[in-house]
Amino acid sequence: MNNSLVKVIVVGAGNWGKNLVRNFYDLGALTGVAEMNHDLRNTIALGFPDIPLYENLESALETDVTAIAIATPAPSHYQLALAALQAGKDLFIEKPMTLKTSEARHLAEYAEGAGRILMVGHLLLYQPAIAWMRDYLASGKAGKVFHVSTQRTKLGKVRREENVWWSFAPHDVSVVLDLLGNPELADIKAFGHEILQTGIADDVHVNLRFTTGQTAHIHSSWYYPEIKRSTVVLAEKQMLVYDEVAQAVTIHEKTIDQQLNNQDAGSHVVEVANLAPLKLECQHFLDCLSSRQRPKSDGWNGVAVVEVLEKAQEAMYV
């Protein structure tokens, strides 16, 4: 795909936005960066002297740019995204899409009605290992999928404006829904431990039950001694383990038969492509801009993830 045919302005060049800036630039599609912070604008100017800079989204929307990519703090997502869509721009928006399901749904409906591309930055859906697991489970080789468990923990950067659930879990919620075939949520239970700050959960456990009978467990923590990023799938014939840190997928030939006897035929590691998911994600957005196809992580995928995030947040304090 000729990326020179589509142009993107990145809004927000902070901790994560700078990665979008670099990838869209490397792909030949970056045509501007909008950043309110003077120091960040100077940093971008030094690294990308040929790229126009804007002080805000309004200035960027006055250009004839093809699309906007938003990587600002989550509370600003809804208003900025709506402004971009109303200006007739296609849109990439980082996770979480919004902080309210109603706002996410409004954006998805608006984009659909206006014929605009809307893509959400659910990065792990573009991780080759997750894509392989999704296709493998869909093939039926592992049998019926019963449960998905994820863990994302480390002694991390603690935030004051959001808890660890909203910071870490969007990745894992998107993976759980994807691997289970996007089932409808039936019930949710959640516990958040406020260790360091009142009102900000640092360690969160969430249990999900779906109308299909499938279940999931998500553990998110930035107050933890070890870096753990894993996805475990329990299925009828096999069990799969994805170690995101080691970038390895292991298939365990393990099950329990109808007589409740353990069956263990060993395990083996699957060879999967070790490609940079962010570059794949950015390229997918550019491809969708050119072909007008629906993104893999479209607005409705964003709605489904925000719904789980919001309902879990509410369940923590019931």
Tens-digit pLDDT profile for residues 213-235? 999 999 999 999 999 999 999 99
Q: 236 and 116 in one domain?
A: no
Q: 171 and 42 in one domain?
A: no
Q: 148 and 94 in one domain?
A: no
Q: 136 and 78 in one domain?
A: no
Structural domain for 75, as ranges: 3-121+277-298
Looking at the domain assignment, is residue 303 inside a domain?
Answer: no
Residue 63 CA to residue 79 CA, distance in Å, equals: 19
Number of domains within the chain: 2
| Closest residue by Cα to residue 152 from 245, 221, 248 | 221
What is the pLDDT, as a whole number, of residue 195?
Answer: 97
What is the pLDDT, as a whole number, of residue 180?
Answer: 97
CATH number at residue 74: 3.40.50.720
What is the pLDDT, as a whole number, of residue 156?
Answer: 87
Amino acid in the structure at residue 130: I
Mean pLDDT of 140-163: 95
Q: 164 and 112 in one domain?
A: no
- φ, ψ dihedrals at 280, nearest 5°: -65, -40
**Which stretches does DSSP call E strand in the chain?**
8-11, 30-34, 53-54, 67-70, 90-94, 118-121, 145-153, 185-193, 203-210, 215-221, 228-235, 239-243, 248-256, 262-270
Q: 175 and 87 in one domain?
A: no
CATH number at residue 211: 3.30.360.10
pLDDT at 150 over 70: yes
| Closest residue by Cα to residue 214 from 251, 173, 186 | 186
Q: How confident is the model at residue 5 (pLDDT cuts 50, 70, 90)?
A: confident
Mean pLDDT of 74-87: 97
Q: 270 and 130 in one domain?
A: yes
What is the pLDDT, as a whole number, of residue 3?
Answer: 60
Burial class (CB in 10 A: 0-12, 13-18, 19+), 283: middle
Residue 81 CA to residue 96 CA, distance in Å, equals: 12
pTM above 0.85, yes or no: yes
Mean model confidence pLDDT for the chain: 96
Q: Which residues pair with 296 in a beta bridge?
A: none
pLDDT, tens digit (0-9, with 9 covering 90-100), for 46-65: 999 999 999 999 999 999 99
Sheet holding 248-256, edge to edge: 185-193, 203-210, 215-221, 145-153, 228-235, 239-243, 248-256, 262-270
Q: How confident is the model at residue 2 (pLDDT cuts 50, 70, 90)?
A: low
H or E element in which residue 78 lies: helix 77-86
Looking at the domain assignment, is residue 151 inside a domain?
Answer: yes
